[in-house]
């Protein structure tokens, strides 16, 4: 459950969080949490209520930070804890519950564009030895002419300018990525500390933008011509980059552990697992659309696009909004054949090995439903790229009988059965002139066939039913004691 705390409830917050040792000492508080910049952001925009969103590991400092912001900015603050979905995303829903006018997001971020509220990012400053990092880079790439892109976790962005100044003279072909949150599709505004200073003179067709980072390639080069050097710990950010640019060689350096390695993850094996999930999606008759975000811009648009795509492929779809996803929640809906998760890029690649049904991404669902989209080795985790105007948008074929666009059948690689991959226009329901219930007379109605409803009607257990008026009212009595294997009266016997 999402919780918002007023900063005045100090004792309540500390009891809830269950921690007492601060992450940051008072002397480092200003630098770590950028108190002055935060207060300037609030005062310059005239905000009266501000939501401060902390990840779990930084909640211990939330009371001190919120008190400092309230004291200096003369604003009412609310601390957001236990975010609705991933802590990397801005939790606009929780902020709106307390009528906040802006959000200050602390810690790691996926840099997904906000939808409604103005947002300021405070990444923090994880310690890094820049000289050590530069020495590691030179060991991995001894050739000064190497073409390398430097990527990094946002918590190390404060040290990138120093690293750039050390390496630029010896490595003229090294490209440093900058942070740039893309909010062109959303209504929310994004404020610093995003960097945008060194790549402003690039030609538009040479700029690569991905996951809030952007960099400019040398003329005549493509992304595949570069090696990737990532600064940060192993996690979802690195996995996203490796899945997206799966033809590039990756090396990583973790400043926290000083661990250096050439990433040896078997990308082909990982991609084959995802391709298996696509085959499961092609076999599915009933698809569940999981709402995994309420704050990333255009999430409603991709849901509508998925519903239309699934319908045109001859499948049924149902939308589920259930907060944080886990195995027991999804196990309640056995009639669903496959789920598609709409979430930010870092939370899209859900490991569904423990789930009863596979969970795929919007890109994988489109590959399964749209015969015009072929998987040529690229992989897309940002659903905004699939929307009209996106870099990877592919129109769904227009099912027109007059164009002899017949249903195409193929063979399932899992079951070996024949399946239809596309519908004709005559097979699509006319939603504009029909309704779910049709009155036949005063006592009978008929309903359109629903695959999930038929399944629910046919299974033995259909959930708890109150049966009001059918069950007699009786007095409460004391129940049996013990555990089911040996109640207390059974032991006495």
Quick: pLDDT tens for 56-109: 889 999 999 999 999 999 999 999 987 778 888 899 889 999 999 999 999 988
Q: Of 17-21, 325-329, 395-399, which one has max mean pLDDT? A: 325-329
Question: Per-residue pLDDT averaged across 222-229, rounded?
Answer: 89
Q: What is the pLDDT of residue 267?
A: 64
Domain membership of residue 155 (yes or no) is yes
pLDDT at 20 over 50: no
Q: Angle at the Cα of 323 (from 213 to 296), degrees rounded to 5?
A: 30
CA distance 437 to 365: 30
Alpha carbon of 116 to those of 112, 188, 322: distances in Å? 13, 5, 21
Residues β-bridged to residue 290: 320, 341
Q: 35-45 and 26-33 are packed helices; what angle lies between their axes, rounded to 10 degrees?
A: 50
Quick: pLDDT tens for 238-260: 888 888 888 888 999 999 888 88
Domain membership of residue 435 (yes or no) is no
Domain membership of residue 484 (yes or no) is no
Counting the structural domains of the chain, the total is 3
pLDDT at 404 over 50: no
Give the pLDDT band (50/70/90) at residue 395: confident
pLDDT at 228 over 50: yes
Domain endpoint, select from 225, 240, 265: 265
Give the pLDDT band (50/70/90) at residue 23: low
pLDDT at 442 over 80: no
Higher pLDDT, 307 or 352: 307
Give the pLDDT band (50/70/90) at residue 408: low
Which residues span the domain enclosing 393? Answer: 268-426
Question: Per-residue pLDDT averaged across 390-414, rounded?
Answer: 67
Alpha carbon of 207 to those of 202, 224, 345: distances in Å? 7, 14, 20
Domain membership of residue 461 (yes or no) is no
Q: Are residues 91 and 147 in the same domain?
A: no
CATH number at residue 11: 3.40.50.11840
Q: Are residues 273 and 181 in the same domain?
A: no
Question: Per-residue pLDDT averaged across 184-190, rounded?
Answer: 42
Residue 140 CB neighbour total at 10 angstroms: 17
Mean pLDDT of the chain: 79
């Amino acid at each position: 459950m999402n919780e918002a705390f007023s900063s005045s409830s100090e004792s309540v917050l500390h009891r809830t969080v269950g921690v007492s040792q601060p992450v940051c000492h008072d002397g480092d508080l200003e630098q770590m949490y950028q108190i002055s910049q935060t207060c300037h952001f609030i005062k310059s925009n005239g905000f009266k209520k501000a939501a401060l969103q902390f990840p779990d590991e930084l909640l211990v400092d939330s009371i001190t930070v919120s008190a400092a912001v309230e004291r200096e900015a003369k604003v009412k603050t609310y601390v957001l804890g236990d975010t609705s979905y991933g802590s990397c995303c801005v939790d606009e829903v929780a902020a709106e519950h307390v009528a906040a006018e802006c959000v200050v997001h602390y810690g790691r971020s996926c840099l997904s564009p906000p939808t409604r509220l103005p947002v300021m990012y405070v990444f923090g400053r994880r310690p890094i030895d820049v000289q050590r990092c530069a020495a590691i880079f030179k060991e991995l790439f001894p050739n000064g002419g190497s073409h390398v892109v430097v990527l990094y976790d946002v918590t190390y962005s404060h040290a990138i300018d120093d690293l750039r100044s050390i390496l630029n003279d010896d490595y003229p072909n090294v490209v440093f990525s900058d942070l740039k949150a893309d909010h062109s599709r959303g209504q929310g505004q994004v404020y610093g500390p995003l960097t945008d200073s060194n790549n402003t003179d690039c030609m538009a067709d040479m700029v690569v933008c991905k996951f809030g980072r952007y960099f400019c390639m040398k003329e005549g080069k493509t992304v595949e011509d570069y090696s990737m050097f990532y600064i940060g710990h192993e996690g979802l950010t690195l996995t996203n980059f490796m899945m997206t640019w799966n033809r590039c060689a990756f090396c990583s350096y973790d400043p926290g552990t000083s661990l250096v390695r050439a990433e040896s993850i078997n990308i082909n094996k990982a991609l084959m697992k995802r391709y298996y999930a696509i085959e499961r999606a092609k076999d599915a008759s009933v698809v569940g659309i999981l709402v995994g975000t309420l704050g990333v811009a255009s999430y409603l648009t991709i849901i509508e696009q998925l519903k239309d795509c699934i319908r045109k492929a001859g499948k049924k779809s149902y939308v589920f909004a259930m907060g944080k996803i886990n195995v027991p929640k999804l196990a309640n809906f056995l009639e669903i054949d496959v789920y598609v998760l709409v979430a930010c890029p870092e939370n899209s690649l859900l490991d569904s090995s423990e789930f009863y049904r596979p969970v795929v991404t919007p890109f994988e669902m489109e590959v399964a439903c749209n015969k015009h989209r072929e998987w040529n080795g690229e992989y897309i985790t940002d659903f905004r790229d699939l929307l009209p105007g996106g870099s990877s948008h592919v129109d769904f074929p227009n099912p027109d009988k007059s164009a002899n666009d017949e249903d195409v059948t193929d063979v399932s690689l899992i079951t070996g059965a024949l399946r239809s991959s596309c519908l004709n226009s005559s097979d699509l329901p006319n939603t504009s002139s029909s309704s779910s219930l049709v009155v036949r007379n005063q006592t009978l109605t008929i309903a359109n066939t629903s695959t999930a409803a038929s399944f629910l009607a046919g299974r033995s257990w259909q959930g708890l039913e109150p049966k009001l008026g059918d069950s007699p009212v009786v007095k409460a009595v004391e129940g049996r004691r013990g555990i089911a294997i040996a109640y207390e009266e059974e032991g006495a016997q």
